[in-house]
Amino acid sequence: MEIEELKKELKKYLKEERYEHSVCVMEMSEKLAEKYNVSKTKVMKAALMHDMAKEMPIEKLKKYILDNKIKVSETEMLLGITLHGKVAADICRKKYGFDYIMCKAISNHTTGKPDMTMFEKIVFISDKIDETRKYDGVQELRELAFKDIDSAIVKNIEYTTKNNLEKGRIILEQSIKTRNYILINRKN
């Protein structure tokens, strides 16, 4: 399915604001794909559809996970925050023919994961720095993403983690794993 058709589909799932976020994530992913020499169309489609299940009620997401035998950890099931990515990936594979790489990027877009491909990194960071994002330091992070995408991912996770700690929220261990993996494996 072409991008324009996917946009029409996405509109059925999302309210205006989240639809706008999705389109902006897609636009960011296009620029990053150019910068890092990843072929554009698939990244853009994955970026566009990453949040397509975000407005499903949590009980519906859980039911979908169980009915479709999607693998998720106990913590994920308990917290629910990452489930929309897992469900979106499954729907995109079955309904829109997305391939393994696209689905993996969608599936892990909330926390990232260790050893991400450039494709996955682009989808992950585009979601955090798209033009609808307004948090302190987002402009610096946008610039950093084009110079050193790994550092941008680490900084984003650190920012989110700090924020969650201050608010007494749960920290997703997968984000910490993503950050540690980059720190351990970086060459400089």
Binding residues for Fe ion, rule: CB under 5 A, are: 51, 127
The alpha helices in 68-172, defined as continuous H runs, are 74-79, 83-96, 100-107, 118-129, 138-147, 149-166
Smallest separation (angstroms) from Fe ion to the CB of 25: 6
Smallest separation (angstroms) from Fe ion to the CB of 188: 30
Residue pointed to by tokens 């494996």? 185
Compare residues 78 and 183 and give the one whose CB is closer to Fe ion.
Answer: 78
Compare residues 28 and 187 and give the one whose CB is closer to Fe ion.
Answer: 28
Compare residues 48 and 187 and give the one whose CB is closer to Fe ion.
Answer: 48
Compare residues 29 and 33 and give the one whose CB is closer to Fe ion.
Answer: 29
Q: Using CA atoms, how far apart are residues 34 and 122, in angstroms rounded to an integer?
A: 11
Smallest separation (angstroms) from Fe ion to the CB of 4: 20
Q: Using CA atoms, how far apart are residues 142 and 127, in angstroms rounded to an integer?
A: 11
Q: Is residue 171 helix, strand or coil?
A: coil
Smallest separation (angstroms) from Fe ion to the CB of 18: 8
